[in-house]
């Protein structure tokens, strides 16, 4: 293999990793700030200017905390739990197209770690493995509350993955490809998928909330009933890893939402920019646009968190199985009919 | 109009157990409404008071640390009658009376004064009954405008005259308008 490609991809992966970590770090601050604003408060503003150093202070605090091990026979699994959560949250970013092609140093640099043609399946696979982090952690804690949280998390994720997959099927029928790069490229300019698949987007959005364990679906760690759910027994940096993984997966999930439905790096007027300022300018603006969309979805996650109270468990299951799945199937049927009709094969 | 459906505030809402329609059970409209309300709160004025730098203003009737008053000539008003101690529901006040010497006329207003006057701030409930009981208008909770500070041992909460009597500077300030006349 070409050495240059290895170096190029290596640099790119490190940059993406750093950006993901940075985002996850500052999401914790953003969450606290936004929560405060929604509640008419100011929020943390003592560490650094406007609280800009707060995530560092929080991290330092978690590092210096006592490392506690519960009386569990599964010490290995107890450590593996947060590790799996963290790694699965991070490896999803491998297939995401962060931007179009860039022409630098006489090379065409594709702003994507790897363009595999089954990227959608890959994402779903990784998401499914993600639940193991919570499951294993909750199981190895040797604590009833942890186990209960883990059980809730796994059943919730399995239920919502069905509706999520069905919502994606309608999208894939339209785009005709499982590759995220093709899906992103197909939304050129302003022809974003959300305009063609509004119901599918809504279902996918709701399921994303469930998959990332965010309110109103944070039953896995609901404080009022389960103390801390699956991370009750965790302390120090292992706890930090779980929380960090949650924020990292929130970032990735926002990215997937932006790429699949909100046009990825496409923005209106990109042809004009290419004509006047060149292709590289379009790519750079595209990357910024993508990150703007990601930030919006992260904000939306937090916005919803401080608006909607937690669902009851039976309501959660009812919404998943009785509302979203029928809706997703109806969406598939309607999409199929619409595709046939537009091809002139219907009637 | 029957009494059940009467609503003086106009905000009364009847709770019903009706079955939700399919659209309602998706919660979409309700969630959109909720999001709109929270978005409004994002831009409202923040109510936080950054405490050590900013302090809240006390209301004029705020009952804080007691103050033993001085009169216009700077003399202590208290005559050690003990009515405050008697009225105190928390048994917080103790005092010891002393007769005024002829050369102390500039210090004490009445012929009898309190040589020791102590309030146990841990017992005090800041009800203000001592203020109401006082026939000489000698004790007030609203004048000092300070809260009783925390301390780490119980003895520090027994406030003697050195902490309770109106400071001389304040008394001098109070007499100034009279001197101007």
Summarize the confidence of residues B97-114 as an average pLDDT: 89
Count how many domains chain B has: 1
Inter-chain CB proximity A323 and B25 less than 8 Å:
yes
B155 within some domain = yes
B38 within some domain = no
Q: Is B124 marked as a binding-site residue?
A: yes
pLDDT over 70 (residue B177): no
A110-154 pLDDT per residue, tens: 777 777 888 888 888 888 888 888 888 888 888 888 888 888 888
Does B26 touch chain A if contact means CB atoms closer than 8 Å?
yes
Summarize the confidence of residues A33-43 as an average pLDDT: 88
Does B20 touch chain A if contact means CB atoms closer than 8 Å?
no
Q: Is B130 marked as a binding-site residue?
A: yes
Summarize the confidence of residues B137-166 as an average pLDDT: 89
A224-282 pLDDT per residue, tens: 777 777 788 888 888 888 888 888 888 888 988 888 888 888 888 777 877 788 777 88
> What is the reported pLDDT for A190?
77
Does B17 touch chain A if contact means CB atoms closer than 8 Å?
no
Residue A184: which pLDDT band, with cuts at 50, 70 and 90? confident
Supply the range of the domain harboring residue B155. 67-180
Percentage of chain A beyond pLDDT 90 is 3
Closest Cα in chain B, distance from residue A41 (Å):
5
Summarize the confidence of residues A76-104 as an average pLDDT: 84
- What CATH number corresponds to the domain at position B169? 3.30.70.3270
pLDDT over 70 (residue B145): yes
B41 within some domain = no
B151 within some domain = yes
Domain layout of chain A by residue ranges = 3-342
Inter-chain CB proximity B41 and A40 less than 8 Å:
yes
pLDDT over 90 (residue A100): no
Inter-chain CB proximity B42 and A37 less than 8 Å:
yes
Asked if the peptide bond before residue B164 counts as cis, ω within 30 degrees of 0, the response is no
Contacting residues of A for B34, CB less than 8 Å apart: 307-308
By Cβ distance, the residue of A38, A308, A319 closest to B41 is A38
Inter-chain CB proximity B38 and A323 less than 8 Å:
no
Inter-chain CB proximity A41 and B45 less than 8 Å:
no
> What is the reported pLDDT for B118?
92
B129 within some domain = yes
Summarize the confidence of residues B98-108 as an average pLDDT: 89
B7-58 pLDDT per residue, tens: 888 888 778 888 877 777 767 788 888 889 888 888 888 888 888 888 888 8
Name the residue with higher pLDDT: B27 or B66: B66
> What is the reported pLDDT for A138?
84
Count the alpha carbons within 13 Å of A10 in the hemisphere toward its beta carbon: 6
Q: Is B149 marked as a binding-site residue?
A: no
Residue B124: which pLDDT band, with cuts at 50, 70 and 90? very high
ipTM, two decimals: 0.73
Inter-chain CB proximity B34 and A307 less than 8 Å:
yes
């Amino acid at each position: 293999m070409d050495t240059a490609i290895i170096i190029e991809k290596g640099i790119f992966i490190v940059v993406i990793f750093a950006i993901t970590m940075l985002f996850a770090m500052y999401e914790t601050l953003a969450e606290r700030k936004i929560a405060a604003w929604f509640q008419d408060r100011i929020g943390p503003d003592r560490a650094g200017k406007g609280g800009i150093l707060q995530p560092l202070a929080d991290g330092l605090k978690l590092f210096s905390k006592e490392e506690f091990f519960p009386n569990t026979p599964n010490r290995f699994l107890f450590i593996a739990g947060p590790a799996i959560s963290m790694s699965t949250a991070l490896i999803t970013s491998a297939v995401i197209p962060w931007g179009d092609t860039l022409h630098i140093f006489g090379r065409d640099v594709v702003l994507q770690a790897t363009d595999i043609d089954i990227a959608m399946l890959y994402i779903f696979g990784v998401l499914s493995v993600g639940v193991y982090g919570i499951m294993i952690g909750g199981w190895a804690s040797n604590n009833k509350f942890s186990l209960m949280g883990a059980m809730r998390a796994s059943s919730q994720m399995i239920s919502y993955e069905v509706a999520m997959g069905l919502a994606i099927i309608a999208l894939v029928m339209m785009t005709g490809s499982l590759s995220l790069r093709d899906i992103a490229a197909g939304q050129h300019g302003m022809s974003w998928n959300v305009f063609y698949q509004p119901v599918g987007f809504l279902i996918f959005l709701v399921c994303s909330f469930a998959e990332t364990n965010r309110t109103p679906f944070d039953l896995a760690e609901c404080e009022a009933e389960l103390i801390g759910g699956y991370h009750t027994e965790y302390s120090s940096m292992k706890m930090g890893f779980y929380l960090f993984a949650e924020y990292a997966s929130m970032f990735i999930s926002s990215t997937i939402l932006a790429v699949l439905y909100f046009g990825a790096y496409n923005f209106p007027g990109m042809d004009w920019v290419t004509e006047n300022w060149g292709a590289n300018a379009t790519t750079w603006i595209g990357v910024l646009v993508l990150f703007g969309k990601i930030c919006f979805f992260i904000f939306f996650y937090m916005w919803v968190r401080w608006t909607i109270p937690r669902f009851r468990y039976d309501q959660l299951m009812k919404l998943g199985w009785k509302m979203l799945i029928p809706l997703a199937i109806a969406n598939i049927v309607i999409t199929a009919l619409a595709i046939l009709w537009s091809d002139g094969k219907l009637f | 109009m029957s009494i059940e459906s009467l609503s003086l505030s106009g905000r009364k809402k009847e709770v019903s157990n009706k079955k939700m329609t399919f659209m309602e059970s998706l919660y979409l409209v309700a969630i959109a409404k909720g999001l709109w309300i929270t978005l409004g709160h994002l831009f409202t004025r923040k109510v936080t008071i950054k405490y050590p730098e900013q302090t809240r203003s006390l209301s004029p009737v705020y009952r804080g640390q007691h103050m033993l008053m001085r009169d216009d000539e700077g003399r202590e008003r208290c005559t050690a009658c003990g009515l405050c101690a008697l009225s105190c529901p928390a048994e917080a006040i103790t005092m010891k009376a002393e007769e005024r010497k002829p050369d102390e006329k500039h210090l004490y207003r009445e012929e009898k004064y309190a040589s020791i006057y102590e309030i146990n701030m841990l017992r005090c409930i800041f009800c203000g009954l001592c203020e109401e009981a006082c026939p000489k208008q000698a004790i007030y909770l609203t004048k000092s405008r300070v809260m009783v500070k925390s301390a780490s041992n119980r003895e520090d909460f027994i406030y003697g005259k050195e902490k309770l009597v109106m400071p001389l500077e304040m008394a001098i300030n109070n007499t100034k308008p009279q001197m101007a006349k």
